[in-house]
């Protein structure tokens, strides 16, 4: 089995400057991710979100709030694409707690690899921060980063989702 792991904030949806997405009304899908998700879906990749969400750990939102945002994301993707993500792993632990699930640790990815019997060599993780790439490297999957990153931070680095998709699609077979 193969999977496209995707960070949520900054890849699937617009980042909220200086805060956390705590309600569905704050969640704005980035349509530039649609071609990547569509290609991966058409080529048999599971699409799995792996996202740190410490807003819950900080008490800024509840688990129910996080689930409401996830449900909204799924509804938006299904409306636009005809499908949603296959699974979502969220880590609500605070930074600095040594959590094995919080990126840059690979726990969320390793959980999915185990649960879905994935072959890491056939998986990619698309994110927008070096912690995403670090988690991907530690889990043994290929990595791609969107944004102003050093080219050595990931297998593929591109300044925007359109260019990242163009570079990544040939690898998703």
Q: Which of 7, 65, 93, 132 is catalytic?
A: 7
pLDDT of the residue at 94 = 96
**Domain containing 167 — which CATH number?**
3.40.50.1000
Please, which pLDDT band fits residue 17 given cuts at 50, 70 and 90?
Answer: confident
Taking each helix axis from N to C end, the angle separating 107-115 and 130-139, rounded to the nearest 10 degrees, works out to 40
Q: Is the pLDDT of residue 18 over 90?
A: no
CA distance 61 to 20: 9
| CB environment 72-96: b (16+ within 10 A), e (fewer) | bbeebbeeeeeebbeebbbbbbeee
**Domain residue limits at 124:** 3-171
pLDDT tens string 86-133:
999 999 999 999 999 999 999 999 999 999 999 999 999 999 999 999
7 is catalytic: yes
pLDDT band, very low/low/confident/very high, at 147 (cuts 50, 70, 90): very high
Q: List 27's β-bridge partners, or say none.
A: none
pTM, two decimal places: 0.97
What is the band of 157 on the pLDDT scale with cuts at 50, 70, 90?
very high
- How many separate domains does the chain show? 1
Active-site residue, selected from the candidate residues 9, 93, 128, 153: 9
């Amino acid at each position: 089995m193969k999977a496209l792991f995707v960070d949520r904030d900054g890849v699937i949806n617009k980042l909220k400057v200086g805060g956390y997405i705590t309600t569905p009304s704050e969640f704005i899908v980035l349509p530039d991710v649609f071609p990547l998700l569509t290609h991966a879906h058409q080529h048999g990749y599971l699409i799995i979100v792996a996202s740190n969400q410490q807003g819950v750990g900080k008490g800024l939102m509840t688990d129910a709030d996080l689930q409401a945002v996830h449900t909204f994301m799924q509804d938006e993707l299904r409306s636009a694409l005809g499908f949603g993500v296959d699974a979502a792993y969220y880590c609500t632990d605070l930074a600095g707690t040594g959590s094995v699930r919080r990126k840059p640790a690979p726990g969320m990815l390793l959980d999915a690899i185990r649960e879905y019997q994935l072959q890491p060599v056939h998986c990619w993780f698309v994110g927008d921060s070096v912690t995403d790439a670090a988690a991907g490297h530690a889990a043994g999957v290929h990595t791609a980063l969107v944004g102003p990153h050093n080219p050595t931070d990931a297998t593929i680095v591109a300044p925007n989702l359109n260019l990242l998709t163009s570079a990544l699609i040939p690898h998703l077979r």
